[in-house]
């Protein structure tokens, strides 16, 4: 069976990588994670310029962000990079006019959220799994709010169970997602981190 790929995703990735600085960022971040300040020093560029390049790479699923307190660490998204390599390797199979695919968005409609929030979920999910993470805080909050709905009301979870829920939708960076859910109060954690539970009050945010 011949697999057919969409030209759109490959073109967007190629555009994101069509810059010397971004190619260098991929190489550097493949070796180890760095902050924007680190990268600005390594590439001899300003921090706003580095942030701009990282945003383009994150939007195409090529770079991940990890929060540690107030610090932001970036690293290559190995899954996204492998997808890019696969698309390039099968470039002769790419259709110039891909057949329209009707994704199943019924689960998004069932949430009963605003049109803007629904669009965020459509843009960052496929088959009820995250494809990549937003770079903007507002969109990230929509994603976190949705992730919170995956946890049952009134149930206590241990850390391993929380991780399994998050891995089921985004295994690449579930630790950061767990931390963000707690920081944004969508999940509560008892002192010492033994048990976690869904904060129902946050659902109205």
Per the structure, the count of domains in the chain is 2
Q: Using 50, 70 and 90 to split pLDDT, how confident is the model at 8?
A: low
Domain extent for 60: 5-92
Which stretches within the chain are classed as H helix?
7-17, 20-31, 36-43, 47-59, 78-89, 106-110, 115-124, 137-148, 159-170, 174-183
Query: Tokens at residue 156, please?
Result: 């206590």
Q: Is residue 49 part of a domain?
A: yes
Which of 63, 92, 121 terminates a domain? The answer is: 92
Last residue of a domain, one of 44, 59, 92: 92
Instruction: Let me know if residue 180 belongs to a domain.
Output: yes
In a domain, 71, yes or no: yes
Q: Is the pLDDT of residue 34 over 90?
A: yes
Domain endpoint, select from 65, 92, 119: 92
Q: What is the pLDDT of residues 158-186, one digit of tens each?
A: 999 999 999 999 888 888 899 999 999 99
Which tens digit of pLDDT belongs to each residue from 127-163? 888 888 888 889 999 999 999 999 998 899 999 999 9
pLDDT tens readout for residues 42-63: 999 999 999 999 988 988 889 9
pLDDT at residue 102 is higher than 60: no
Residue 101: the pLDDT is: 53
CA distance 24 to 102: 36
The answer to whether residue 99 sits within a structural domain is: no
Check: CB of residue 21 under 8 Å from CB of residue 53. yes
Strands 94-95 and 63-68: unpaired
Cβ 124 vs Cβ 133: under 8 Å = yes
Cα separation, 158 vs 167, whole angstroms: 14
Token pair recorded at residue 61: 């699923």
């Amino acid at each position: 069976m011949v697999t057919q790929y969409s030209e759109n995703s490959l073109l967007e990735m190629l555009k994101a990588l069509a810059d010397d600085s971004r190619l260098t960022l991929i190489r550097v971040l493949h070796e180890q994670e760095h902050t924007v300040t680190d990268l600005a020093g390594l590439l001899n560029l300003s921090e706003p310029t580095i942030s701009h390049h990282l945003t383009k790479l994150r939007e195409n699923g090529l770079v991940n962000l990890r929060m540690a307190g107030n610090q932001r660490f970036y690293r290559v998204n190995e899954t996204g990079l492998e997808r890019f390599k696969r698309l390039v390797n099968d470039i002769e199979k790419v259709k110039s006019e891909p057949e329209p695919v009707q994704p199943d968005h019924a689960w998004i409609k069932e949430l009963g959220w605003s049109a803007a929030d629904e669009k965020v979920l459509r843009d960052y999910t496929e088959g009820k799994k995250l494809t990549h993470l937003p770079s903007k805080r507002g969109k990230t909050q929509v994603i976190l709010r949705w992730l919170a709905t995956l946890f049952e009301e009134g149930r206590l979870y241990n850390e391993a169970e929380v991780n399994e829920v998050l891995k089921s939708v985004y295994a690449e960076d579930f630790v950061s997602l767990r931390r963000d859910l707690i920081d944004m109060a969508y999940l509560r954690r008892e002192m010492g981190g033994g048990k976690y539970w869904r904060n129902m009050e946050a659902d109205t945010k």
